[in-house]
Amino acid sequence: MTRDDRPDRAAGGGRDGQGTPVGRRVVLGMLAAGAAGVATAPLLQRAYDSALGAAAQKDPTGLSGLLPGGGGFRYYSVTGSVPEKDAHHYRLTVDGLVRHRGGYSLADLRRMPQTRLVRDVQCVTGWRVPGTPFEGVRLSALLDAAGVRPEARAVRFTCFDGAYSESLTLEQARRDDVLVALRMQDKPLAHAHGGPVRLYVAPMYFYKSAKWLSGITVTEQVEPGYWEDRGYDVDAWVGRSNGRDDAPTT
Ligand SMILES: Nc1nc2c(c(=O)[nH]1)N[C@H]1C(S)=C(S)[C@@H](COP(=O)(O)O)O[C@H]1N2
Ligand SMILES: [Mo]
């Protein structure tokens, strides 16, 4: 683990080192300890994972390590803490250039037809997790239900962490491998992974898959998202953007 373990590059930071984030040394130390845990005892590794998961959730920099639950996912949040929303408190709004604004509870979303996809996940910082099941409602179904107006060209996503945002063109948003995901790894989406509901954009770098999804707004044009304002490509196809040549995920 050398260049791939750093968090997403900071503004102006470049992928190859300038702007190395504060805390990298700490993260590397934790990763080294984790590798030792794997080698010695699965039980220790599990304890280590949950300790790191807890630490990750308290890390105000958002620069933290592997998530518990396996697979090699890393925890990312651009905010220090994110409120937890359960089935009673969760709400997804759909608005903007639509005929019928909508509001969905978790139960509403669960009642709709569900699609399950199994693809690799690729983060733009280098880490990749093979064959991960995601399951949820096709974004296109929500857009159809809302009745997109003819002048619309794009969709903007907002999150209940209060800071993150993402966007897609309408054409990208209507792909059948773009989900409003309720499940990941065949379990309800955990809070750390952006639960109860996150976006899942299978063919794009994982920063497109906005966690803690709370708003879908149909817009006239693409509005760059949080990381895109800080240098990431707006069209985030895996292997064809961000100067990277990873194998495609779809
Ligand atoms: N709300 C929100 N969504 C987000 C992010 C974030 O910081 N906040 N980070 C993105 C990035 S860069 C990655 S790699 C993935 C990480 O998802 P994970 O924490 O489930 O591994 O979430 C994406 N979605
Ligand atoms: Mo990422």
User: pLDDT digit string (tens) for 77-109?
Assistant: 999 999 999 999 999 999 999 999 999 999 999
Q: Ligand nearest 121 Cα, by number?
A: 1
- Specify the ligand 1 atom closest to the Cα of 73: 21
**Atom 6, ligand 1: which residue's CA is nearest?**
77
**Atom 20, ligand 1: which residue's CA is nearest?**
193
Checking if the pLDDT of 60 tops 70, the result is no
With a Cβ cut-off of 6 Å, ligand 1 is lined by 8, 67, 73-78, 123, 159, 161, 164, 193-194, 206-207, 209-212
CATH fourth-level superfamily of 92-230: Oxidoreductase, molybdopterin-binding domain (3.90.420.10)
Checking if the pLDDT of 16 tops 70, the result is no
Q: Rounded to the nearest whole angstrom, what is the distance from the C-alpha of residue 77 to the centroid of ligand 1?
A: 6
How high is the mean pLDDT of the chain? 81
Q: Where are the domains of the chain?
A: 1-75, 92-230
Structure tokens, 190: 């955990």
**Atom 11, ligand 1: which residue's CA is nearest?**
207
Checking if the pLDDT of 25 tops 60, the result is no
Instruction: Band the pLDDT of 68: cuts 50, 70, 90.
Output: confident
Instruction: Band the pLDDT of 30: cuts 50, 70, 90.
Output: very low
Instruction: Band the pLDDT of 70: cuts 50, 70, 90.
Output: low
Checking if the pLDDT of 139 tops 60, the result is yes
Q: Rounded to the nearest whole angstrom, what is the distance from the C-alpha of residue 66 to the centroid of ligand 2?
A: 13
Q: Rounded to the nearest whole angstrom, what is the distance from the C-alpha of residue 209 to the centroid of ligand 1?
A: 7
- Specify the ligand 1 atom closest to the Cα of 193: 20
Q: Tell me what pLDDT residue 113 has.
A: 98
Instruction: Band the pLDDT of 71: cuts 50, 70, 90.
Output: confident
Instruction: Band the pLDDT of 67: cuts 50, 70, 90.
Output: confident
Give the whole-number percent of the chain exceeding pLDDT 90. 71
